[in-house]
Amino acid sequence: MNCQYCQQPTESIHLPEFDDYGAFIRFCHACQAEQLCWSSDEAIISNSLYAKINNRLYRWTVASSPVVDQLGIPFNIVGSLWHVIDAIGYEPGMGTFHTREIANMEHIKTFRGEIAPILTPQNIEQKIRTWLMML
Instruction: Tell me which residues touch Zn ion (CB under 5 A).
Output: 3, 5-6, 28, 30-31
- Between 10 and 80, CB nearer to Zn ion: 10
Q: Please, what is the minimum distance in Å from the beta carbon of residue 42 to Zn ion?
A: 17
Task: Name 135's Cβ contacts closer than 8 Å, sequence gap at least 6.
Answer: 108, 109
Q: Please, what is the minimum distance in Å from the beta carbon of residue 4 to Zn ion?
A: 7
**Please, are residues 79 and 61 in contact by the beta-carbon 8 Å criterion?**
yes
**Please, are residues 95 and 18 in contact by the beta-carbon 8 Å criterion?**
yes
- Between 12 and 110, CB nearer to Zn ion: 12
Rounded Cα–Cα distance for residues 76 and 52 (Å): 28
**Please, are residues 83 and 61 in contact by the beta-carbon 8 Å criterion?**
no
- Between 3 and 84, CB nearer to Zn ion: 3
Q: Please, what is the minimum distance in Å from the beta carbon of residue 31 to Zn ion?
A: 3
Q: Please, what is the minimum distance in Å from the beta carbon of residue 73 to Zn ion?
A: 33
- Between 2 and 76, CB nearer to Zn ion: 2
Whole-angstrom Cα Rg for the chain = 15
